[in-house]
Structure 1
């Protein structure tokens, strides 16, 4: 009986030691919520107003963060989400020009938002962010992994509230369906290290 108690005590101590060795940097095993993307200079939006062809079309956000929209003129859109823009247009059009306008917005290009992919990929560089972009998509844009890539040690550096955070993302496990995908945010930096094996 005493031997059993001693063995249990040692096991508990070893377990406690192992727990302390877990790295502080989080290891991601599931998807991270996607923040709503906002508009900026260079972005391209498609505005659709139901049954109003003349008010529908493709519009580019200018360097000043505005779009030149029929009837309304220059409209400041920088920092707006697509939902914000739809609500703003519905309100402005409804005030003077249309009764109960129905407006929908499609973001065609996020040129103001970028993600970077470096390390063991075939075509490292900076790429245009796309809505609901995943780490799998980003690696694909960068030409896929090299033969030396440590796929499951891929890390993402992200700036949140002025502080830098780093996530380790098991990309190979995601591709094999063993864990949830990881969603990127504008400004993320993806780094794929070299395998030591």
Structure 2
């Protein structure tokens, strides 16, 4: 599930202009209790399983029993299951395909939406779908620059912007971002500076951050904030 995007950093100085493009690499998602999984074995259908990761982080695999998967990426979890099946003498080369059907976590939608708050994150949910789940945007919303605030495991945060307006109008090269657990979607009122005010109010005052150089995430401008 890793994503990578790069863009050129602002040419604030000759030294900055000669610096290599910044890279924004998202970590592969790690399974957590409550995540609903679809585990399919192309050559061993009797082992197929659909269900949630239990509160103890384990998943019941037919013929095998409960396997601890919480904390693993989908790739790591597939390897754990394959190795357990082989070690138990059940299947020598059964490699599962793991799909997260529904996340057990939430995303948060705030700003100029009708019902701000936490919503259940479905697999593949994008920004527009999350906004619709939050009641849709108010007439005062700035649809051209919706902010997504994404935290990483090492206590960094990244802010990037998407244009819901361009996407809904079907404009060429318009893109919409797929959300990840614990993302925050913020719909500004009229000017994008409101996002900065919101970040200062609700993030900086809770966990101090300082801004670094901006760059791009695909088609989206990015501001990185770090401790």
Q: Are 1:133 and 2:125 matched, yes or no?
A: yes
Q: Are 1:59 and 2:51 matched, yes or no?
A: yes
Higher relative contact order (CA 8 A, sep 6+): 1
Q: Are 1:185 and 2:185 matched, yes or no?
A: no
Note the C-alpha offset of 1:129. Answer: 2.4
- Superposed, 1:166-177 pairs within 5 Å as 166-176=159-169, 177=171
| Distance in 1 (alpha carbons) for counterparts of 2:123 and 2:101 | 10
- Superposed, 1:75-86 pairs within 5 Å as 75-86=67-78
Q: Which runs of 5+ in 2 are unaligned?
A: 1-10, 13-23, 192-227
**SS at 1:133 equivalent:** coil
Q: Are 1:39 and 2:24 matched, yes or no?
A: no
C-alpha deviations, 1:7-34, integer Å up to 9, x for none?
A: xxxxxxxxxxxx98xxxxxxxxxxx876
TM-score, normalised to structure 1's length?
Answer: 0.71
Which structure features the higher share of strand residues?
2
Q: Which runs of 5+ in 1 are unaligned?
A: 1-18, 21-31
Q: Which residue of the partner structure matches residue 9 of structure 1? A: none
**SS at 1:97 equivalent:** coil
TM-score, normalised to structure 2's length?
Answer: 0.62
C-alpha deviations, 1:77-111, integer Å up to 9, x for none?
A: 11222222222222221231123224222222211
Which structure features the higher share of helix residues?
1
Note the C-alpha offset of 1:115. Answer: 0.9
Q: Are 1:98 and 2:91 matched, yes or no?
A: yes
Q: 8 Å contact 1:34–1:132 — kept in the other structure? A: no
Note the C-alpha offset of 1:138. Answer: 1.6
Q: Displaced runs of 4+ in structure 1, greater than 6 A?
A: none
